[in-house]
Amino acid sequence: MTQTLKSKKAVEYLLTVWVIITLNFLLPRLMPGDPFLFISGAEGEDIARFSEAQRAYYIDQYDFDSPLPVQYGQYIAALAGGDLGYSIYYNEPVAPLLLRRLPWTLLLVCSTVGLSTLFGTLLGGLSARYQGKWIDRLLFIGLIVVSEIPAFLLGLVLLFVFAAGMQLFPLSGAMTHFAAHESAWRIFCDIVLHATLPIATLTLVRTGGIYLLARNSIITVMARDYLRTARAKGLGRLRIFWRHALRNAMLPIVTRVFLSLGTLVGGAILVENVFNYPGLGRLMREAVMVHDYPLIQGIFLLVTLTVLSANFLADLIYKRLDPRIDTGAAFPAVREAG
């Protein structure tokens, strides 16, 4: 039975990847125009400086005049060989271009996941501990209001207040250009300083959802019979909370963390453009503006595989947290409940 469930899960992942790859191929080509109408103009300008003969030549060189099924077959064959294509705008292979930008996006996403999960869980536990009291009401209202603000809007507010106004943080970028740092520690501090506002923006927006889930989960767990038994045995409140309540409440929290990575990546894309941060989000905007089909396809494929990998990792961690549960059956149930 377990082997059947695992095989079914693998088929679901493969089918999802195929659908995403197909959409990844079709969507850029559904945009009006082509890369050679936009590539020579300034960003956002629909000015073509190629002659019709030049444009026809480049379209033929990149096989954009071939029937879509032929282009699709060539795209699948290239992916099977590990080739993500050649960027039209940047005039270099897509894979190394993505590898240069990926670490910056991973820095934002991983930091946000860690901080929002930590703060959301701790604040949710605090709110559950003092349920109905003023601290619970204050946290509930405050975090819900903040989490409803769009990430790009909150980023603009933080940028204007702390960067432009108070000048505590840099306005843009990931590192100070042309700076002669004396040591690796100085480089690290410079990177952290530039990443603080983008990470703070994403963390503030994301913490509210984790807080609500943690609060409700801990309140539910604290009402269970085995915790009443633990109190009757004279166990301390902190031990009951950390060893029993929080561990059992972590199951839905872990599931939510991994399943919401897609939303987090989308938020990171917007925030990177607000802070002019050189990650995949800013690269995606540039690729869409100039209709760089291979680059758009490479970015979407990388983001998709990252999200699917996170979901697969959630299956494994879920099983690790509670060995009694079979992930093939339990995880979809939790997903539906969420």
CA distance 259 to 250: 14
pLDDT of residue 68: 82
Give this prediction's pTM: 0.77
Contact 40, 34 (CB under 8 A): no
Q: What is the DSSP string of 56-110?
A: HHHHHHTTTTS-HHHHHHHHHHHHHTT---EETTTTEEHHHHHHHHHHHHHHHHH
pLDDT of residue 196: 92
Contact 264, 207 (CB under 8 A): no
Q: Tell me the mean pLDDT in the region 285-291.
A: 82
**In one letter, which amino acid is 119?**
F
Q: Tell me the mean pLDDT in the region 170-185.
A: 80
pLDDT of residue 327: 46
**In one letter, which amino acid is 80?**
A
Sequence-separated (6 or more) residues with CB below 8 Å from residue 322: 251
Stronger pLDDT, 140 or 44, i.e. the higher one: 140
pLDDT of residue 38: 55
pLDDT of residue 239: 64
pLDDT of residue 199: 93
Backbone angles phi, psi at 93, to 5 degrees: -60, 145
pLDDT at residue 167 is higher than 60: yes
Stronger pLDDT, 107 or 315, i.e. the higher one: 107
CA distance 311 to 305: 10
CA distance 59 to 27: 18
Contact 238, 129 (CB under 8 A): no
Q: Tell me the mean pLDDT in the region 175-185.
A: 78
pLDDT-derived band at 329 (thresholds 50, 70, 90) equals: very low
Please calculate the CA angle 64-69-72 and round it to the nearest 5 degrees: 70
The DSSP bridge partners found for residue 86 are 93
Select, from the ranges 66-70, 195-199, 216-220, 314-318, the one with the highest average predicted confidence (pLDDT).
Answer: 195-199
pLDDT at residue 161 is higher than 50: yes
Give the SS3 label for residue 187.
helix
- Count of CA atoms in the C-beta half-sphere (13 A) of 195: 21
Contact 146, 205 (CB under 8 A): yes
Q: Which domains does the chain have, with CATH numbers?
A: 101-286 (1.10.3720.10)
Lowest mean pLDDT among 34-38, 232-236, 326-330: 326-330
pLDDT of residue 65: 75
Residues in the chain: 338
Q: Tell me the mean pLDDT in the region 328-337.
A: 40
Stronger pLDDT, 241 or 137, i.e. the higher one: 137
Sequence-separated (6 or more) residues with CB below 8 Å from residue 282: 101, 272, 273, 276
| Nearest one of 197, 199, 215, 211 to 144, comparing CA atoms | 211
| Nearest one of 289, 291, 301, 278 to 88, comparing CA atoms | 291
Q: Tell me the mean pLDDT in the region 280-296.
A: 84
Mean of per-residue pLDDT scores for the chain: 78
Give the SS3 label for residue 46.
coil
pLDDT at residue 174 is higher than 60: yes
Contact 84, 94 (CB under 8 A): yes
Percentage of the chain exceeding pLDDT 90: 6
pLDDT of residue 1: 46
Stronger pLDDT, 28 or 334, i.e. the higher one: 28
Q: Tell me the mean pLDDT in the region 71-86.
A: 85
What does the pLDDT look like over 190-217, one tens digit per residue? 899 999 999 999 999 889 888 888 888 8
